[in-house]
């Protein structure tokens, strides 16, 4: 129990850096897709630079952070007495469901990363801007679940997350209209 707070601190640090990597990598995907639409030589210069930036972010920050956050989480859950107690609580099951969705999100980001490293553009910048909000929704969900813990409150939290998601989508559409108007 003495070392539990150290484990939790390390887990939180790597969760923060993992999310920072996920937030920024998708923004870099937007820039890579936009760079592909430029004319030479700007296109080649930007693509080369963005490939280097995404490679470093992905393999030096994001992947190691994901692995270390997971290691410390598993350690807390399966090798401490408190973790065993948490695993019996319904809110933890819901949280672990969101963590599973985060792993799926990370995996899809890895797929997109590989495609862009190979100059394969399969998504639009609008898709990427919306995709970028996925990590935000997961982060909000997990934080509210961990802080509120009891079932009644996390149900309100899930409804809040759905409402938040709708607001993000509406905000995105509003921003897109403004951007299109300014480009005209």
Closest by CA to 117, choosing from 51, 61, 181, is: 51
Closest by CA to 29, choosing from 103, 109, 105, 136, is: 109
With beta carbons less than 8 A apart as the criterion, state whether 32 and 54 touch.
yes
Beta strand residue intervals within 41-180, DSSP E: none
What angle separates helix 125-148 from helix 90-117, to the nearest 10 degrees? 160
Peptide bond into 141 cis (omega under 30): no
End-to-end CA distance of the chain: 62
What's the burial of 2, exposed, middle or buried (CB within 10 Å: 0-12/13-18/19+)? exposed
Residue 95 assigned to a binding site? yes
DSSP 174: H
With beta carbons less than 8 A apart as the criterion, state whether 122 and 56 touch.
no
Question: What residues are designated binding site for heme?
Answer: 11, 95
Question: What residues are designated binding site?
Answer: 11, 95
């Amino acid at each position: 129990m003495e070392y539990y707070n150290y484990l939790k601190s390390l887990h939180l640090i790597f969760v923060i850096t993992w999310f920072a990597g996920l937030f920024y990598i998708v923004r870099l995907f937007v820039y890579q897709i936009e760079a592909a639409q430029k004319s030479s030589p700007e296109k080649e210069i930007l693509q080369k630079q963005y490939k280097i930036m995404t490679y470093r972010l992905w393999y030096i920050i994001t992947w190691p952070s994901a692995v270390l956050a997971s290691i410390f989480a598993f350690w807390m859950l399966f090798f401490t007495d408190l973790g065993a107690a948490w695993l019996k609580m319904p809110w933890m099951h819901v949280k672990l469901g969101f963590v599973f969705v985060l792993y799926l999100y990370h995996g899809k980001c890895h797929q997109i990363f590989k495609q862009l490293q190979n100059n394969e553009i399969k998504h639009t910048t609008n898709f990427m801007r919306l995709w970028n909000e996925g990590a935000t929704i997961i982060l909000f969900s997990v934080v509210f679940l961990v802080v509120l813990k009891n079932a009644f409150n996390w149900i309100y939290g899930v409804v809040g997350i759905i409402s938040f998601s709708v607001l993000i989508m509406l905000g995105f559409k509003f921003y897109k209209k403004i951007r299109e108007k300014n480009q005209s």
